[in-house]
Amino acid sequence: MAPTRQKIALAAAALCLAGCMVGPTYHEPKPAVPAGFGEVGRETGPADAAADPALLARWWTVFRDPTLDSLVARALSSNRDLKTAVSRVREARAEVAVARGALLPELDATAGFDRALGSKNVQLPLGSLIGGSAPASGSKATGVTRTAQADEASGGSPAGPASGPSTSSPPGGPTSPFGEGGLPGITSNLYQAGFDAVWEVDVFGGTRRAIEAADAQAAAAKEGERGVRVTLIAEVASTYFQLRESQAREAIARRNLEAQRQTWKIADDTFRAGLGDEVQVAQQAAQLRVTEATLPPLMAMERSAQHALAFLIGDQPTALAAELSPPRALPELPPDVPVGLPSELLRRRPDIRQAERNLAATNAEVGVATAQMFPQFSMTGSLGLDSTQLKHLPEWGSRYYSISPGIRWPILDWSRLHAAIRVEDEEQAQAMLAYEAAVAQALRDVEDALVQYESEHGRRSALSRAVMEAMRAREVSSQIYTQGLADQLATLGAERDLLQAEDTLAQSEASLRLDLVGLYKALGGGWELPR
């Protein structure tokens, strides 16, 4: 009969566990987003074109630059910040395992040995112990002492609590008549081995809500890791383009420097032949030195970019000098960039996904706090062996057990528990605001990136035409000056204009690629959508 009753009780407990969970049920928010991006232009494809998930996942490959591809791969493998983010994910998943463990009983194996000597100066109230009258004042408990000594001499257990399961805790204390050492004048041994178990039954779902919160926090940590990945790839690409920009500008400066050196030589030779003006020669030399002065900052920018890229891939600052020092042109731009629809941002942007998981976690925490208002049911028990002699410990007669069901229900601290629920409610409201802010920020990031990319395209086109006109003006002015039909000031002005136009165009080319990197980052590109 007893096993049947136990099965019924376990089945009832399982039913309670399956069906009762306090706190609000979570529903994923559905924020309102526009049907399309308002700043989509000619260079970013049709406004209603869907984004290619595979392209967004590996967007840096559209530049077709093997060096960039290699740098991104090494950064994803060795970057310290990304490794830290991955470690946070593992930590959060371990926290989930800790939370799940609260659903299971705790079982501890125990073993111990106790040797005790009771004080001879303890007087025992024999009447209360054996149900008779109390001894006269000043009498000694010699009968009990002799009996205990006789039991010990014969190999038995001494009388009193030292032979029961309660000896797993010290026998003395303010509630024991025997004192801290046990029976007066008796030296006793106790060997013990067994198991202690505690199980808090999750009747109202507080533990399951805690598991739900831990699951959501682990998912938020994973989205945080994806966010670090997106930022890292964008930073590698941006730094790489800045490196190539400084090399391109340095090459432009050196070409213009060589042209100005030739012009200065012509002016100097003409002056030495007695046909020129010394002022014009000095002006040409000054312009030459100004152009030379632009080289050191550009070279410093290049080295700093090399150091930054080495840091991003987790290497020493100068580790990439040999690989990246040979100049290379900026990679070509893709023909168009399908940005997709605003609704896709809710699935792609890691910061939005992380904010949504944080919201789910705070929702579950409300349930955890609410469960504290209800009774807490627990079951404790122990099973083991007790013996005063080690050789008798394995015997069946040495067994003991105890089962103690319990219930705890807070009554006088309800005001504190209600306040704790209000705290969680406010944290949930803040998480909702954070989620809404993440959605709004994502929409703004994309619109801003679209504006910058489109406007830089127009600026680059105008600068390209300006460079062509400046080159033509310099050629014409150089021919006229060589023929002696104009002074050198026109040539100097044409060279300065060409240098400035070419340098500005190189900056615009790099800015265009940096803006495209920002657009891909705003779209949440750089990781695979789960299937």
pLDDT in tens, 54-112: 888 999 999 999 999 999 999 999 999 999 999 999 999 999 999 999 999 999 999 99
d(CA 489, CA 282): 11
**Does residue 31 or residue 131 have the better pLDDT?**
31
In a domain, 339, yes or no: yes
Average pLDDT over residues 262-278: 76
Please state, rounded to an integer, the average pLDDT across all residues of the chain: 83
* pLDDT tens, residue by residue, 170-203: 444 455 667 777 778 888 889 999 999 999 999 9
The percent of residues in the chain predicted with pLDDT above 90, rounded, is 53
- Please say if the pLDDT value at position 391 is more than 50: yes
**Tokens at residue 338, please?**
């399908």
In a domain, 528, yes or no: no
In a domain, 142, yes or no: no
d(CA 206, CA 3): 29
* pLDDT tens, residue by residue, 469-508: 988 888 888 777 776 666 666 677 777 788 889 899 999 9
- Please say if the pLDDT value at position 222 is more than 90: yes
In a domain, 362, yes or no: yes
In a domain, 222, yes or no: yes
pLDDT at 144: 41
We report the CATH number of the domain holding residue 395 as 1.20.1600.10
Domain count, the chain: 1
pLDDT at 119: 85
**Tokens at residue 384, please?**
């083991």
- Please say if the pLDDT value at position 164 is more than 70: no
pLDDT at 169: 45
In a domain, 147, yes or no: no
* pLDDT tens, residue by residue, 334-369: 877 878 888 888 889 999 999 999 999 999 999 999
Q: Which residues contact 186 (CB under 8 A, 6 or more apart)?
A: 117, 118, 145, 148, 149, 152, 158
Encode burial over 75-101: b for 16+ CB neighbours within 10 A, e otherwise: beeebeebeebeebbeebbebbeebee
pLDDT at 256: 81
In a domain, 72, yes or no: yes
The percent of residues in the chain predicted with pLDDT above 70, rounded, is 82
pTM of structure: 0.79
In a domain, 98, yes or no: yes
- Please say if the pLDDT value at position 10 is more than 80: no
Question: Cβ distance 503 to 252 under 8 Å?
Answer: yes
Question: 383 has which bridge partners?
Answer: 195, 401
**Tokens at residue 177, please?**
């008549």
Q: Which residues contact 504 (CB under 8 A, 6 or more apart)?
A: 463, 466
Q: Give the torsion through C-alpha atoms of 87, 90, 96, 100, to 10 deg.
A: -140
**Tokens at residue 132, please?**
């008779």
pLDDT at 122: 79
Where in the sequence is the domain holding 371, given as residue range(s)? 2-102+207-522
What is the enclosing helix (H) or strand (E) of 457?
Answer: helix 414-482
